Amino acid sequence: MTPARLVVSDEARSDLAALRVQDVPLLRRVLRNLIALRADPYSGDKLRTKSNRKPLAAADCRRVKVDGVRILYRLEPHEGAPADVFVIAVLSKREAYGEGTARAAKRLRELARRRARGL
């Protein structure tokens, strides 16, 4: 199986930059997990429809936990045959689900616009 392509959103890049300032060893562990997702995109837990995660579950998002940080991502173009691992957020548990929901909604709107244009 060909490894999935890792696509990191601009917001997630900012999250990683902030993490670099806060905790370099944690950043290294997060980056190792991101690289591992290329080989096994299904390794993250699929989000359930728990109250604060319902929008993320509806957007087919997954998460990987790394020492208090959540890597939120989704498999694109769909769960059954992922070509890309799209990283939505790399945030603390406290921030991840609220901010992640807004970012996932933004990503779904982007994808809908692309499909409407035939891209």
User: pLDDT per residue over 17-54, tens digit each?
Assistant: 999 999 999 999 999 999 999 999 999 998 877 656 77
Contact 45, 72 (CB under 8 A): no
Contact 56, 106 (CB under 8 A): no
| pLDDT-derived band at 98, boundaries 50, 70, 90 | confident
Answer whether residue 96 shows pLDDT above 90. no
Helix/strand/coil for 40: coil
Helix/strand/coil for 8: strand
- Please report the domains of the chain, with CATH numbers, ordered by start residue: 5-117 (3.30.2310.20)
Instruction: Please state whether the predicted TM-score (pTM) of the whole model is above 0.85.
Output: yes
In DSSP terms, which residues pair with 76 in a beta bridge? 84
Contact 67, 26 (CB under 8 A): yes
Out of 13-17, 109-113, 115-119, least confident range: 115-119
